[in-house]
Amino acid sequence: MGPGRCPSATVGDRGQSGRVIRNVHNASGTPVAIITGGSRSIGRAVARELAIRDYAVVINYLNSQPSADAAVEEILAANGTALAVRADVADELDVERLFGEAMDAFGGVDVVVHAAERMILGTVAGYDLQTFDALHRVNVRGTFVVNQQASRQLRDGGAIVNFSSSAVGLALPSYAAYAASKGAVDAITPMLARELSARDITVNAIALGLERPATPADIANLVEFLVSEDGRRINGQVIRASGVIGDASRNQGT
């Protein structure tokens, strides 16, 4: 990927967005990554891994500002560059602002890792439809909104990584609503890859599996490979990564 040029940024304050900037010391040529749901679990591990690889990292969160601030401070303590921005991934104006703040701080965006999601399980017969709508608002609309803005704002040669689930292909009781939402990710990913191929932007998804445990660090390493020069031959794929599906109470931004 051709890394973008990042201007210097000064120590900032916390605005309405809830963003935090500390010790931003980018040199020119530093690539920039936005990680949605980056305050915890896999998203946080991805943010940490990309920061180690000299990315300027924008950590998106919704509800857990303390966790987002801690993730930023963790990166800064390792001499990395980070910024936290509060945004609802299903709100197009929030997502537009998220990208705008990243570009204001660092000059552009090269990588988007969309890890924000909700996971609420229940049988089809017993599933509350308001809960269904809330789940799909984050997992389907949120994926579409983030990918739409990424397709508009990423610099040529960039990369998008979405997150799906192996539950899509498994007949697991109580997973119907969640698996349906992740099926949308599986559909969007290869289609967007074809739409962006002329700009040399890759789009892939990682489907977390069931067979054996995979740590957040394992998944972060896979993300880092997909956005690296070595991973650029992989495009439009949903990669089935062995590992647990996760905690059924999992929410974006917590």
Phi, psi dihedral angles at 202 (to 5 degrees): -90, 150
pLDDT at 243: 53
Tell me the pLDDT tens digit for each residue of 128-153: 999 999 999 999 999 999 999 999 99
Q: Supply the residues annotated as catalytic.
A: 178
Mean pLDDT value across residues 219-237: 97
In CATH terms, the fold of domain 20-241 is: Rossmann fold (3.40.50)
Question: Higher confidence at residue 194 or residue 29?
Answer: 194
Mean pLDDT value across residues 71-82: 96
Model confidence at 206, pLDDT cuts 50, 70, 90, reads very high
Tell me the pLDDT tens digit for each residue of 149-200: 999 999 999 999 999 999 998 989 999 999 999 999 999 999 999 999 999 9
pLDDT at 13: 40
Q: How far apart are CA 82 and CA 51, in angstroms?
A: 8
Tell me the pLDDT tens digit for each residue of 37-51: 999 999 999 999 999
pLDDT at 31 over 70: yes
Model confidence at 3, pLDDT cuts 50, 70, 90, reads very low
pLDDT at 242: 64
pLDDT at 23 over 60: no
pLDDT at 94 over 70: yes
Find all residues with CB under 8 Å of 224, minimum gap 6, and list them.
46, 49, 50, 53
pLDDT at 252: 54
pLDDT at 2: 44
Q: How far apart are CA 2 and CA 195, in angstroms?
A: 19
> If you average pLDDT over every residue of the chain, what do you get?
88
pLDDT at 214: 75
Q: How far apart are CA 181 and CA 188, in angstroms?
A: 11
pLDDT at 70 over 80: yes
pLDDT at 62 over 70: yes
Question: Higher confidence at residue 221 or residue 249?
Answer: 221
Longest dimension (CA), the chain: 56
Q: Report percent pLDDT > 90 for the chain.
A: 78
Model confidence at 209, pLDDT cuts 50, 70, 90, reads confident
Q: Report percent pLDDT > 70 for the chain.
A: 83
Asked whether 10 and 24 are in contact (CB, 8 A), the reply is yes
